[in-house]
Structure formats: C-alpha cells, structure tokens
Amino acid sequence: MRQDLSKATSWVAHIFGVLAIATFAFVGAAFAGLKASSVQLSGDSQKTEVRISIDQDPDLHWFLLRTPYRLVVELPETTFAIEPRSLKPLGLVDGVRYGKAAEGRSRIIFTSRKPFSVERVEIESGADKDGYSLAVSLAASSDSAFQSAMSEQVSATASIPARPDGDTTPVKPFTVVIDPGHGGFDGGAEGVSGTREKDITLAFSRELRDSLIQLPNFKVVMTRDSDMFLRLDDRVRVAQSNEADLFISIHADSIRYTGLRGATVYTGSDQASDADSQALADRENLVDQIGSASLPEENQEVTDILFDFVRRETQDYSWRVAKDLVGSLSQTIGVINNPHRHARFRVLRAPDVPSVLVELGYLSNADDESSLLDPQWRAKAVGSIATAVEKFAERKGVSTAQTER
C-alpha cells in the first residue's frame, strides 16, 4: 500500500513539485475501511469537475490554502487504490495528492496554479447502490476572491450532517499546548537583576493557561507545570500525543544589545531570517546537551514526500498564527523591529502541529525585565496572545462565543 502510494505521489511531484496532499480526518469505526479506487477529471480552465470513487458515505470537511492554491478535503482514514495515470492535470486541477499522515486520518489535496472558487464538495450515491463518489466542482476565480473565501472559511465545511437529537458524542476541543521554556537545572537566560527565564516562562504560561481555559471548546495542556527539566523532543511529543491544534513555546531571551526590548514571534524554518535568529535557535537547540542527552536524528520518514507536504501546510498555519500574534502584541506590550522571524528551532519541528515560539521580551534589558515581573504587564500580554489564539481557533471552525447560562 505505502509503495503504491509513494509511486502515485512521486509521479505527480515529479511534474508538479509545488502540489500538495496528505492525510487527515475523522476517526470512527464505521469508516475504518474507507477505500478510494479511482479519480475522474473533466472540464476546462473555467470549470473543472473531479469525481473520486469511494465505497462508503463518510463525514468530511474542507478548507482552502494558498501558495500554491489548494483545496483540502479531510476524510476518515482511507485506503487509496488509484491509478497514477488518472492523475494527469486537467483544467484548474494541476495535481491531486493523498495519503495518511496520522492514525485514523486521511487527506486529499487538489492543487492549482490559478485561483478558483469551490462550487461544491459533497458525497453522491453512485449507480451501484453500494458505491459513492466524492464530487468536487471548481470554477475559475480571482486571487482576491480566493483570499476572501479563505479568510471566511470558519464554516467552510461540507457534507457534515447535523448531530442527531440526543447525540452526546463529545466534540473534539481546540487543544493548545503551552510550553514554558527551560526548567530544572536549565535556568535559561538571566536578567539584569538575576531573574531566571525558567521562572518567568512558567509563571506566564500558567497565567496564559488560566485565560485560555475560560474559552468554550478549548483544552489547554502544559508541557511542564513545575520546575523540571524537559528535553526538546519530549516537549514536541506532548503536543503530538495530545493531537494539539497549536503549540506555543514561551521564552524571554537575553542578548548582548542591552538596549533592545520588545516581543518577538518565531516560526520554524530550515533557513533563518537573520543571524540573530539563527544564534538564538542554536542556543535553544543546545539545551538537551545540558542533560547529557541529544535529540535523535529526524526519522527518515519525516522527509517522505507526504510528510513534507503536511509540513508545508502546518507551516502555513504557523505563519498565520505568528502574524496574528504580532498584530495583537504590537497593540499592547510592543514588539521589536521585524517582529516575525524564523529559524530552525527543534522545539518547533512537529510536522503536524502549527507551532510558534514567543519571546516575551529581553531579560538583558532592565525595562523589559521589570515588565516581565509586573503582573499587570503580563496580564496585557496574556490577553494579546489569547486574542490571537482565539482568532486562529475561529478560523479553524471552533466556536469560541460565550453562551448564556
């Protein structure tokens, strides 16, 4: 199965290197054996129809991504037995990718070099009473219209039936994993007056947790809730084992430029945005060596093409969260110049969890250190981060509206 999948995905990737597909979806015993057996494309550059034969009628939902333009359809775990020759580009569809990225979850991604609008994504009964088709209709559109649709896709779902009366199946909460940087014998940076980074990050993370758990449909997990050392890969593992929707690592750096102050938001990247970001990532990545343990080499599977595309999509989400965080923090506690930066932080390496690292300020700056110790200042910072996280959750379709009791 995996060999067939690799052949299919590699075939499309060879011709269309910017195309994307992987796996993600709903877990359910009723659809544990979902199979997709063929793909049919029809139409032209103005309107394109896609039909994928499947053997059951599953729940599904969809959303849009850009750079490149993509339609992502999420399904329960699916076995794909699709003939690679049926994946030739046609009309608005330059490529189709599919596969498994997590247990019980599958995803199909349709990629286009041109913007499009989604006219329908639904399950249809086939001529055979036991067969069904995933039917997708795309129409030519503009970049601005695509961007608008992507921004408004909070409720961009399809074929998700209303929950029957009396259905008490719990809804999966939006899960945020908060990672207080450093801990235990790893004190992190030290402030002008001796403040330890590990203490600031833990205190702030607890306050952020207490704020986020007030939001409906939210679940918050801490990688550590005491003064303990935790390896970087263990922090990542906490996020993945909890199927986190967002991972936030909290830090407060020290730098040789004592006049520099303000918050910074980092995302993971193979190439650093600047020398200072690379130096910071290098310092943070050395943390495990303090405990005489080093991170294992990344599993070769992570470099598999499917995981690469999952990583690209996850990076898209990470960048959106970073943008929201910068916008929110800049209005309250202030940020440095070029506040969204990126580098190869190992703690941000999870390919399937949107991840950001927030440097609240610089302990090497007396004013920033004083602010970090001020409960009122921290409350403003907590509110700013919570606002950005709530905005991201709403984009993902999570209702955070407070209801009257």
The pLDDT value recorded for residue 249 is: 97
Same domain, 60 and 178: no
Taking the C-alpha atoms of residue 293 and residue 172, their distance in angstroms, rounded to an integer, is 35
Give 262's pLDDT tier (boundaries 50, 70, 90). very high
Helix (DSSP H) and strand (DSSP E) numbers for the chain? 9, 16
More confident of the two residues 158 and 49: 49
Q: How far apart are CA 340 and CA 103, in angstroms?
A: 33
Q: What is the pLDDT of residue 3?
A: 39
Q: Which residues pair with 342 in a beta bridge?
A: 267
Token pair for 220:
């918050």
329 lies in the same domain as 358: yes
In a domain, 106, yes or no: yes
Q: Please, are residues 68 and 20 in contact by the beta-carbon 8 Å criterion? A: yes
CA–CA separation, 101 vs 22, rounded Å?
6
Report the distance separating Cα 184 and Cα 380, nearest Å: 27
Q: Do 231 and 318 lie in a common domain?
A: yes
pLDDT of residue 16: 35
- Residue 32: predicted pLDDT: 52
More confident residue, 2 or 197: 197
Indicate whether 246 and 201 sit together in one domain: yes
- Has residue 403 been placed in a domain? no
pLDDT at residue 178 tops 80:
yes
> Is position 400 within any domain?
no
Residue 194 above 80 pLDDT? yes
Q: How far apart are CA 81 and CA 67, in angstroms?
A: 28
Residue 325 belongs to a domain with what CATH number? 3.40.630.40
The answer to the question of residue 165 being in a domain is no
- Tell me the C-alpha distance between 14 and 16, whole Å: 6
**pLDDT for 330-354, tens place per residue?**
999 999 999 999 988 989 988 889 9
User: Could you tell me if residue 218 is left (phi over 0), alpha (psi between -120 and 50 degrees) or otherwise beta?
Assistant: beta
Do residue 297 and residue 337 come from a single domain? yes
Structural tokens at position 339: 């506040």
What total number of domains does the chain contain?
A: 2
Residue-range definition of the domain harbouring residue 184: 174-395
Domain final residue pick, 130, 158, 186: 158
Q: Kindly state whether residue 289 falls inside one of the protein's structural domains.
A: yes
- One domain, residues 149 and 181: no
CATH of the domain at 64: 2.60.40.3500
Whether residue 405 is contained in a domain is answered as no
Query: How far apart, in whole angstroms, are the C-alpha atoms of residue 79 and residue 302?
Result: 20
Alpha carbons 213 and 221: distance in angstroms, whole number: 10
Q: How far apart are CA 6 and CA 45, in angstroms?
A: 28
* Cβ within 8 Å of residue 134, ≥6 positions away: 36, 50, 51, 52, 54, 60, 73, 75, 108, 121, 122, 123
- Position 398 scores a pLDDT of 73
CB 89 within 8 A of CB 40: no
Six-digit token pair at 107? 């995803």
Mean pLDDT of 370-388: 95
pLDDT in tens, 293-304: 333 444 443 334
Residue 248 and residue 332 in one domain: yes
Q: Say if residue 109 is in the same domain as residue 249.
A: no
- What percentage of the chain reaches a pLDDT higher than 90? 43
11, 271, 284 from 250: Cα distances, Å: 41, 21, 12
Assess whether 243 and 370 both reside in one domain. Answer: yes
Co-location of 387 and 250 in the same domain: yes
Query: How do residues 9-55 score in pLDDT, each as one tens digit?
Result: 343 333 333 333 333 333 344 445 788 888 889 999 999 999 999 98
Which of 98, 128, 158 is a domain's end point?
A: 158
- The Cα–Cα gap between 27 and 169 comes to 13
pLDDT band for 109, please (50, 70, 90 cuts).
confident
pLDDT recorded at residue 127 = 60
Model confidence band, residue 119 (pLDDT cutoffs 50, 70, 90)? very high
Q: Is the pLDDT of residue 403 over 50?
A: no
In a domain, 404, yes or no: no
Residue 30 covered by a domain: yes
Does one domain contain both 23 and 128? yes
Report d(CA 371, CA 362) in Å as an integer. Answer: 10
Domain check: are 238 and 343 in the same one?
yes
